[in-house]
A = this chain, B = another copy of it.
Amino acid sequence: MRYENVKGTKDFNPEEMEKRQYIIDVIRKTFEEFGFVEIDTPCLEKWEILSKKGTGGEGILEETYKFEDKSKALIGLRYDLTVPLARFVAMNKKLPLPFKRYQIGKVWRYGDVSKGRLREFLQADIDIVGAESILADAEVLACASFALRKLKIDFLIRINSRKVLNSIMKKVGIKNEFVNDVLRSIDKLDKISEDEVKKELFSKGFSRDVIENIFEMIKSNPNELKVDGIDELNKLSEYLKLFDVKNFKIDFSLARGLDYYTGPIFEIVSKNKNIGSIAGGGRYDNLIELFSSEKIPATGISLGIERIFEILSDYPKKKRIFVALSNEDVFEDAIKIVKMLREKFYVDYDLKGRKLSKQMEYANARKFSIVIIVGKRDLENKEVTVRDMESGEEKKIKIENLESFLEGYLELV
């Protein structure tokens, strides 16, 4: 019998995890530098919370994993980290505001997996709760930018505003109740062609005239379009420049799928690889109110770790050391060396009592950077042989100098 993963989920092997963990470490560090603090919320949320009107919207609820537990409680796997944050804020009324939190965790969406999208994937979110100033939107964008910059990813930030889009809708005569429907179609512009989006809107019952009007406006020059929300976008641009973030452009065709956005919206795309957005977010001033009795403004961005993983090709690899035994007699001395080195380095040794040649094969297959060979004669001279596995060079080193030798050596390689 052949076993396999649940469709849309995947295993990460050690090499992949080293890369993934590197990405997470860089992102986490940047989040902390920007003063964000971490929370964790459960993967399981009550269905009544995930499905509350005004959260993700119908589209996303169709994709949400939903089940009854043994007590018949209706439960869902979270589809993002924002709705759980809104619940968290509502349940913790005494948080000093603004509350700047980050969270890194898996979310689940039962969507199409054909385009390399996963159904279980990792998000890294920062959000600022309780600040109505556009400065907060700039802060989250600057933070996300810095993280991606540290990862040496070449990216472009696309910026728009739900206020602008709503004004456009109003101008072309779309009724409020259909606005989200139109925006969900426009949001597909990065995946399907303009013509296909137009066809979709037509099939949704909008007239050709209205559709052409919409497209004319979303393609107009940011400096010329006179609608609500434009001032906020200009303010956002100013703040971004103040933070040395320059690679952004205002793009009225950006819509973002989720229903809860109210102000600026943003998306970050890779310049080198066409794999959809690597981050997305925006201002959602009404979401927390759904759970709390208070109106609390909020804005945030979510980095898609899976997409960043796909883009990133180069990252620093960990250097690992293998201690090989020339024969069983040196076992206790070898363990002493292993114990000593583990205080500073990543150290492994043979657990199977194999011959030296087999140990070298194993160390090679596991891509250890350095093998330390512990031999009986060397031990008499209080030394060991250190082999660089890439160059094949070997050196005898006194055991008392081994630690400092390796420190210098591993810094050099």
A binding-site residues for B, Cβ under 8 Å: 3-7, 9-14, 17-18, 20-21, 32-35, 37-46, 49, 65-71, 73, 75, 87-88, 90-92, 96, 98, 100-101, 106, 108, 110, 119-120, 128, 131-133, 135-136, 139, 146, 242-244, 291, 318, 320, 322, 332, 335, 339, 342-343, 345-349, 351-353, 362, 365-366
Contacts and interface: CB of A to CB of B under 8 A. Distances in A.
A119 B69 CA distance: 11
Given A4-B46, A32-B318, A39-B11, A351 B91 contact: no
Contacts of A49: 3
Contacts of A349: 35
Contacts of A5: 42, 45-46
A69 B6 CA distance: 10
B12 A40 contact: yes
Given A3-B291, A38-B14, A42-B120, A131 B9 contact: no
Contacts of A128: 351
11 contacts: A3-B49, A6-B42, A6-B45, A7-B73, A11-B39, A13-B92, A17-B38, A18-B37, A44-B108, A133-B353, A136-B351
B13 A139 contact: no
A205 B390 CA distance: 64
A11 B135 CA distance: 28
A252 B260 CA distance: 58
A98 B128 CA distance: 46
Nearest to A342: B33
Contact of A17 (B40, B43, B243): B40
Given A4-B91, A73-B7, A133-B352, A96 B365 contact: yes
A402 to B, nearest CB: 16
A101 to B, nearest CB: 7
A81 to B, nearest CB: 12
A43 B75 contact: no
A42 B10 contact: yes
A33 B338 CA distance: 10
B44 A6 contact: yes
A315 B318 CA distance: 27
A96 B351 CA distance: 13
A69 B65 contact: yes
Nearest to A362: B96
Shortest 5 CB-CB contacts between residues of A and residues of B: A35-B348, A67-B67, A9-B42, A14-B37, A96-B365
A117 B96 CA distance: 30
Interface centre among A13, A44, A343 (most CB of B within 10 A): A44
Contacts of A366: 96
Contacts of A347: 33-35
Interface centre among A39, A132, A243 (most CB of B within 10 A): A39
Given A43-B43, A90-B3, A110 B365 contact: no
B91 A34 contact: no
A73 B6 contact: yes
